Chains A and B, each alone.
Chain A
Amino acid sequence: MSAAAPRAPAPSVVFDPVTAEVIRGALETVAFEMATHVSLTATTPILNQSNERNATILDGRGRLAALSVGIPQFMLSSTLPVRFALDFFDQEGLHDGDVLVANDPYHGGGHLPDYNVFSPVLVDGRIALIASIQCHHADTGGGMPGGYNAEAIDVWAEGVRFPAVKVVDQGVERRDVLYMMKVNNRTPTFMGDLRAQIGAAQLGAKRLRELIAHYGVASVLHAVDHAIAYAARRFREEVASWPDGVYEADAFVDHDPVGNKDIRVHVRVTVQGDHLRVDFTGSDERQDLKAYSSFGNTRGYVVAQLATMMDPSIPKNEGFFDSIELIVPKGCCLNPSEGKTVAAGTHHPGVEVGEAIAKAMAVVLPERSCPQIYKLGMPTVIFGTHPETGQIFVDHSVDCLAAYCNAVKGQDGWGSMPASFGNLIRATAEINESIFPVRHECCDYATDTGGAGQWRGCPGSRVVKRVTAPAAVSTYMVGMKYPMSGVAGGRDGSPNRLIVRVGTEHAAHVACMANGVPHAAGEAFEYVYGGGGGWGDPLDRDPQCVLEDVLDEYVSAEAAEREYGVVLRGSAASGDLRLDREATEALRTANRRNP
């Protein structure tokens, strides 16, 4: 079974830190190779070029040893399904050559579309390591196509659940099981994608066997311990550098898809020496919501948010995960009892987990408390019949646009979306207009949409899309009552605003859901995306920066005065825009007295 690399030295049991570090690097490279294998072999083009795949190496106890990540928020829920399998099958039930599939949100998963595929590597009858790969699939069976059934009454209506199922048993494919999976999925490419994942897990297992043959199992497992201990040490060093205290915050979702309002996420973060407790007691406990975040999903968002608040070089392994004492009461909106719907909840209240933590920790970590989230609800989908082909087209509007980029201390918000989504590459006007009967008229930053602050939130885009053939527009919106939060005295970002059939007598603001709103050829919708929140008191912003912002039209002269207390004279057009320092000082002093 093992394919030893040439010239394998006799495995030694000397645990030196250099060897441990070399093996740690090799494990991360194996994870990278697995993720790359999926990119190269997945058969859904849209999957193989997006980054919605996440490869991990775990040890025999299901502890995360190494990973290669695409988009953190979507992808940090992959260890718990493996642990369920370890419990369920026990040591005797898993063998070399096995490959398992799991996707169930009530057995460790995030939501049904995320399929985990993993394969154990055994040495002397014990599981040494596990290679695991998680991918997002376009369909899960169930009541509606697309794995995103906002109308589902329960999780069974959302799709087919696989808690932990062997699809390859000691190297032999289980045709019956694979066939059962095939017939329970609508998309013809599902099996191709699943096979790409199976191939990646097998490749990972093969590489891990080579590594064990080369270094010896004791050295490899020592290296895993070393890496986990290292991450834990680094994590605890960071926490120890934070002031002790209890930090609390709330974040809210406007409403779930059926209109249940003000879903509350409450966090209480306790820093005590080098110990960190994150407690969501007090979060919404209503049992009739349509959107819950599964425990795996909640845990993923906690880790993703904390990871961006620490030194980026700390490895994201079990040492990191395990150093967080996480309390999520069973039955609340972040850890629902079995059967509740979770597809929509993956996003909201899922993302509000990150927002609440960022708000709570702002005083402790001013330079890094930036919610790595979005207030999107659901992308704006445009669908109809293409006039030239007579076929259905669906434009998911993953367009070039800016939204939800908060500032942090020392850095204005910038670009498109928060840093964590930096791997998600967006579609462009020139490509999409050649394929869809839609014209991208505008995606410019909208002036004054970024939250004011000592550091300014990035503006959101004003997006105008005009259809050139009859089409319908669907979406679910949040972030209107509760836009991106300002931090440490910074102002909130602007709320989302969507007007369908803009400029016609049928123009209408979308309040919660739009279900296939028909647009005639030549009609448009206008979506002004919410800006990022500001950081710190706007009155503390350097007036020179405010002047620059006005010159660049991120901020209007009126808002400069109103929000920042900065008085300008002249105009940009005539080239004599300048600061009135005296008036600014006076206005700021007055504003500080009467906030």
Chain B
Amino acid sequence: MGFRIGIDVGGTFTDFVLARPGGELVLSKVPTTLADQSLGVMQGLSALAAKEGLATRALLEATELVVHGTTTADNTLIEMNGAKVGLLTTEGHRDEIEIRRGYKEEIWDPAFPPPVPIAKRRHRFGIPERLDFRGNVVRKLDEEAVRTAVRRLRRDGIESIAVSFLFSFVNPSHELRARELIRQEHPDARVSLSHEVMPTAPEFERTSTTLVDAYVGPRVQTYLERLERALQEAGYRHDLLLMQSSGAIMTAAFLAGKAVAALGSGPTGGVMGACAAAQTAGVSDFIAIDMGGTSYEVCVVRKGRPTIKSFWNWQQRYLIGLPMVEMHAIGAGGGSIANVQAGALHVGPKSAKAEPGPICYGRGGVEPTVTDANVVLGYLNPEALCGGEFKLVSAGVRQAIAERIGKPLGLDVVEAAHGIFRIVNANMANAIRRVSSQAGLDPREFALVVYGGNGPVHAGKQAEELGIRKMLVPKTSPAFSALGLLIADYGVDLQRSYISPSGRASPGRIAELFREMQAQAESELRVAGLGPQDLELRRYLNLCYPGQTFDMSVPLAVSSVGGEIGAATLAATVAAFHDLHEELHTYAVREEEPILRSVRLQAAGRTPKPMVRRCPRLSTPVVEAVRSRRPAWFDGRFVDTPVYDGDRLGFGHRLAGPAIVEERFTTLVLYPGHTAELDEHGNYVVTVA
């Protein structure tokens, strides 16, 4: 067994997790190279090899798996600097991408601007052609209209063309023919066909997803090809694998053809990492919270699995109809800016980001942030972060908080800093309450799994606020995104629309759709070296009640894959839908006939997991790990608080708050009444009294 490497490119750092053949994990970070992320990746690999006492080539030749999480697709959508895109739709449906099913992000702001168009209206063409909902041709494809449109797009310098015709997922012939015509008229254009990107209704979701695929595709493809080449030239002999937004990994070659599935893969990796760490501690129902510099992300995990959502996923200003791990973000992080307006204190969502950053970064920031408050309160080391590598300055911090926050509120500097701390905690606790109420659960029955550079400073207060008793802060948490890459499985998640009142749905047609999807899954996963026998298949019907906007996946009620699908199967699945609806939404309307919207197949191919290595029990007295003491603000006064060196804490050590633990990439604040115990997997298991 060789090395396995997870590489996650974030906004500031590129994180690496190396699993040695023996199972130990090695964490490392290098600065992200924004212009070409592959440079930072290759530099980081060299550094990693050096740490292992190997040449880069020797390391990569001995590596059997490189799994990568990239923000290339996300950045393209954030910066809106993707390809020049054209769109072909069914005539009469050219503008649905602008109409957006009526959705606008700000209901109180009439001056809120529209999204930057991926394809301007002049580059969107309605093509005479029409299918009915069964896929019958009502109007045949006007090939001349396609040619004329494509010539026009070519003339205007369009590089990438999305095609989204109504009901193409039932009968793709018009889209397929359109691709042939595009190839004839504009051979250099990349083509995204909606029935291939997302073969499901409805048309706005599918068109938006296809358009984004066309937009980010060329950049993602170029990047992946460059990185894969660099890795191979450096000695790596296997496929480069990538995290998808659904939490499953696939080959780079696959993702190059379906670039949109790479969106959001970074945060997804983080949640998968949290799942892996939680599993070692025997925690399966938890709320994962990630507090970085700018945002705070919340994800509910039940039975060890995050919720996957395939509807109404907005990424930047576009809708992605593919399955994505469900995350909720608010603007709360270390860089969140505090201000006083009309006598009320607000923190965030505006952030000082990495540049200029908090005042204490000494890079010209003048507005007080959460991190500045944490320095004043003694929670963070006032001299340096990251084990001393990242120096902080104290000049101006107290003064700015006193002037900008304390004075208008009539508070002294410490009260003002504590005010910032309390408001941001309240915002985060409210976010958890909202997410859990939407999921219909009581947060008190869940644990918190905490990560992100700033998460462990604040999480204890959120746990108190919410009545959560148990909290997990794994030592690996700063590299969760990279760790998650190493434990994810191969997977494809396929859907085919079949819209029909459930009683009128044909079992034969459903079986045919499953066969089609299974063939597709097998062919896609064959690229990753997996045969049909390696795949675990799960089949679902997506059902809803008449009038509902969104549907629900219900496992198909057959015991074995390949078992016959008949009327009884359908009836049993519909009965299960009523039950599931009652379980999740407290009621069922059994006299209503549910509508079948689509059928879904999940195919997973297990990857071997890094062997979990347990830490030996440390017998050194815990006081030997005390690095220093500093005054920190607890219960309304400064308390002389022990500061522990995380590197000297291990399995068996117990700590009682108030205490501060400085890990290399994060700081854990243990509040009075809280205790922490280190388990054999390097998790701080915090009990909130």
Contact = CB atoms under 8 A, between A and B. Distances in A.
Interface of A: 5-7, 16-22, 25-26, 28-29, 32-33, 36-37, 40-41, 43-46, 48-50, 69, 71-72, 189, 192, 226, 230, 233-234, 237, 307-309, 312, 367-368, 370, 372, 388-389, 400-402, 406, 408, 410-411, 414-426, 428-431, 433-435, 439-445, 461, 464, 551-554, 572-573, 575
Contacts of A411: 110-113
Interface residues of B, number: 85
A461 B99 CA distance: 9
25 contacts: A20-B344, A29-B434, A33-B434, A45-B547, A48-B548, A189-B589, A312-B106, A400-B96, A406-B110, A411-B111, A416-B103, A419-B112, A420-B107, A422-B103, A423-B103, A425-B103, A430-B167, A430-B202, A431-B201, A433-B132, A435-B501, A439-B138, A442-B91, A443-B96, A444-B126
B126 A434 contact: no
Interface string B316-342: 000000000000000000000000011
A506 B14 CA distance: 69
A72 B92 contact: no
Contacts of A367: 111
A422 B114 contact: no
Contacts of B122: 551-553, 572
Contacts of A309: 110
B499 interface: yes
A335 to B, nearest CB: 26
B105 A422 contact: yes
A226 B343 CA distance: 9
B166 A372 contact: no
B166 A430 contact: yes
A26 B430 contact: yes
A36 B109 contact: no
A307 to B, nearest CB: 6
Interface in B346-388: 346
Contact of A426 (B101, B410, B434, B504): B101
Contacts of B202: 428-431
Interface string B123-141: 0001000001100001000
Given A36-B438, A49-B550, A402 B95 contact: yes
Given A41-B586, A430-B203, A422 B423 contact: no
Contacts, number: 243
A192 B497 CA distance: 31
B104 A422 contact: yes
A425 B102 CA distance: 6
Given A444-B93, A554-B121, 17 more contacts: A7-B464, A16-B411, A18-B345, A18-B418, A18-B423, A19-B422, A21-B345, A25-B427, A226-B344, A307-B108, A309-B110, A414-B114, A415-B100, A415-B104, A419-B106, A422-B102, A575-B152
B342 A312 contact: no
Contact of B426 (A26, A417, A419, A554): A26
Contact of A422 (B92, B107, B203, B597): B107
Given A49-B550, A370-B110, A415-B98, A230 B133 contact: no
B423 A443 contact: no
B587 A29 contact: no
Contacts of A389: 501, 504
Nearest to A69: B107
A421 B106 CA distance: 10
Contacts of B276: none
A43 B545 CA distance: 10
Given A402-B95, A428-B202, A45 B545 contact: yes
B546 interface: yes
A370 B112 CA distance: 12
Contacts of A443: 92-93, 95-96, 99
Nearest to B201: A430
Interface string B392-416: 0000000000000000011100010
Nearest to A434: B499
A69 B108 CA distance: 11
A43 B203 contact: no
B440 interface: yes
Nearest to B423: A21
A233 B343 CA distance: 9
A32 B136 CA distance: 46
Nearest to B421: A18
B94 interface: yes
Contacts of B467: 5-6
A225 B410 CA distance: 18
**B109, B202, B415, most chain A CB atoms within 10 A:** B109
A127 to B, nearest CB: 25
A419 B108 contact: yes
**B108, B111, B434, most chain A CB atoms within 10 A:** B108
A461 B93 CA distance: 11
Contact of A419 (B98, B104, B499): B104
A400 B110 contact: no
Nearest to B101: A426
Contact of A43 (B410, B415, B587): B587
Nearest to A464: B92
